[in-house]
Amino acid sequence: MIAYVTRRLFALIPVALGVATLTFAIIHLVPGDPVIAMLGETAAPADVEGMRHQLGLDRPVLEQYFSYLGGLAVGDLGESISYRKPVSRIIAERYPATIELAAAGMLVALLIAFPLGIIAGSKPGGTGDIAAMGFAILGISVPHIYLGPLLMILFSLDLRWLPLTGRGGFSHLVLPAITLGTALAAIIARMLRQSLIGVRESDYMRTAISKGLSERAALIRHGLRNALTSVITIIGLQMGSLLSGTLITEMIFSWPGLGRLLISAIGARDYPTVEGCVLAFALTYVVVNMATDLIYALVDPRVRIS
């Protein structure tokens, strides 16, 4: 297990290098000048050239690239063009808000998905199955950019139960978490349903039912754990979608996280901040996938990682 974790951690190096290179290339190919974005189109040419020299943007692109990789090797992500602060410090300030929102979204997804999946999987084709899967289809069909404002109008503007935007206490987290977690809940519920239907025909399920357990009780007590392996896979894979979904959700609810920082940095052509944010998202996704592999062995003892 230790050797496996060590190999996966070393695998982060080429991933970080690939993401950094690709992001650097794309952001430098996008039309626009960060200095003009900072000083305005009416700025004097001398001021523009002075600022470009100060930021090192007048150097050849290849030289900027190797300078960036050199800083990355020692944990230096550079200085933000817009904020004039180290990118690593800005990310450290914004990252907890994004993790908080993603974790809350995942919690909402699990709280919705497991009851729906169990109801649907315990009696396929029944009324509960049809209702649960109907909700799942609805959850997948409604995009964040529509659901978020709809919840804001209903619960913030009309009923005045919850705050409209910003990050504060628990009440500020409710609407963004529901917006983020609903679509994921639908996906997990559908996968859990299929997994439970698959284990219904197994020998141990028939044995449990023959000993007097009801079909639903046997499914929950004996079948659920064996059905979780594929569900965990989906959760791990969808964590990337959850993180990317925070970009839209953070913009809708003015949530001060990494996604909102990335969108504003793209608009300002803030190269170091964009590169740092994308790298943080990519490494988080890889670490989550590694954690998913490790959880397999805990959920299903038949799975062993060599």
Domains of the chain: 16-73 (no CATH), 96-299 (1.10.3720.10)
3-state DSSP call for residue 86? strand
Give every CB contact of residue 104 below 8 A, 6+ residues apart in sequence: 173, 176, 177, 180, 181
- Reported as a single tens digit per residue, the pLDDT across 46-93 is 777 777 777 677 778 888 888 888 888 888 888 888 888 888 899 999
User: What pLDDT is recorded for position 90?
Assistant: 92
Instruction: Name residue, tokens 């935007």.
Output: 165
For residue 15, count CB atoms less than 10 angstroms from its CB and return exposed for 0-12, middle for 13-18, buried for 19 or more: middle
Give every CB contact of residue 112 below 8 A, 6+ residues apart in sequence: 139, 181, 182, 185, 189
Residue numbers of the chain with a pLDDT score lower than 50: none
User: What pLDDT is recorded for position 140?
Assistant: 76
User: What pLDDT is recorded for position 217?
Assistant: 72
User: What pLDDT is recorded for position 189?
Assistant: 86
User: What pLDDT is recorded for position 304?
Assistant: 55
In order, the DSSP letters of 7-25 are HHHHTHHHHHHHHHHHHHH
Reported as half-sphere exposure (CB side, CA atoms, 13 A), residue 99 has a value of 10
